[in-house]
Structure 1
């Protein structure tokens, strides 16, 4: 892929994706990364100094009015090539676990960050994605042409839910999966691939210390998986290693 935008790159999976992509034999020519606070993104800034293809964009993605400016900055760099991939990675998980402890504000905040933001950012980036698809009209449906990858979770699977609880997080990821499916249909005429991915249970601030996967293992597999996506995967829900998951 020539260019990719990844959200939430100051730590965890986002930062891991940046490292994994730059470890490829042919890294993306332009790797756009977002963070809410540039001062706190110490490791990301260090990577950007070492790799000229990394562009850091400071933005609070809940400020929807800033999206046009974000898209403008990307367009200035990619020119007429557009944007090959939007990877909606940024997300939150409130601490409330059981149904009785669910708070209204947790539901609102989690749905906004985990569902509304990815949908609205995809909408804002659509002209860039369309452009990339047009420029690469001879390339089959893949991340080399144009794609939207939404970082979901197995906890968003309705069929796999046997434990209950975690209502804000579960509902936000289920809604994101529904949005992914709809976008895959809506954007099929433009030849833009849309997929939901589950990163596995990973040792991050969100996943906790008991998780079996480390960030490097998960993100290396994710990069390998997205590079293998084709038309048969469009509108699907997959694990980091490419295994299909139930809705």
Structure 2
């Protein structure tokens, strides 16, 4: 792929994806990464100093008025090539579990970050994604042409829910899965691939210390899986190794 935008790259899976992509024999020509606070994203800054293909964009994704500026910055770099991949990775996972502990503001904040932001950022980036799809019309559907990858979770699976609870997180990710399905239908005419992806249970600030996978194991497999996605995967829900998941 020529270019990819990944949100939430100051730590965890976002940072891991940046490393995994740059470890490829042929890394993306342009790797756009977002963070809320540039001063706190010290490891990301260090990577950008080592790799000239990494562009850091400081933005609070809940500030929707800043999206036009973000898109303009990307367009200034990619020009006629557009943006091949939008990876909606940024997310939050509230600690509350049972309905008795669930708070209204917590629900609203989680939905805004996990569901509303991916929708509105995708809307803003559509001109760039369409441009990439047109520029790579000889490629089949996939990340080499144009793709939207929404970082979901198996906890967003309604069918797999056997434990209950986790209302803010489960519902926001189930909604994100619905978003992915609608995008896959709406953008099929533009040959833009849309997929929901579960990264596995990973040892991050969100996943906790008891998670069985480390960031490197998850993100290395995610990057490999991305390269295998094609038209048959459009609108689907998959985990890091490409296995199909139940809605």
TM-score greater than 0.5 by the shorter chain: yes
* Structure 1 residue 121: Cα displacement: 0.2
- Are 1:87 and 2:87 an aligned pair? yes
Question: How big is each residue's C-alpha offset from its partner over 1:62-85, in whole Å with a ceiling of 9 and x where there is no partner?
Answer: 000000000000000001100000
Unaligned runs of 5+ in 1: none
| Partners of 2:240 and 2:95 in 1: CA distance | 24
Superposed CA RMSD in Å reads: 0.3
| Partners of 2:228 and 2:66 in 1: CA distance | 33
TM-score by length of 1: 1.00
* Structure 1 residue 95: Cα displacement: 1.1
Please name the residue that 1:203 is paired with.
Answer: 203
TM-score by length of 2: 1.00
Q: How does 1:1-247 map to 2 (within 5 A)?
A: 1-247=1-247
| Partners of 1:135 and 1:189 in 2: CA distance | 15
Count, aligned residues? 247
* Structure 1 residue 28: Cα displacement: 0.1
| Partners of 1:159 and 1:116 in 2: CA distance | 23
| Partners of 2:225 and 2:100 in 1: CA distance | 38
* Structure 1 residue 231: Cα displacement: 0.3
* Structure 1 residue 112: Cα displacement: 0.2
Question: How big is each residue's C-alpha offset from its partner over 1:90-136, in whole Å with a ceiling of 9 and x where there is no partner?
Answer: 00011111111111011000000000000100000000000000000
SS of equivalent residue, structure 2 residue 96? coil
* Structure 1 residue 31: Cα displacement: 0.1
SS of equivalent residue, structure 1 residue 180? helix
SS of equivalent residue, structure 1 residue 55? strand
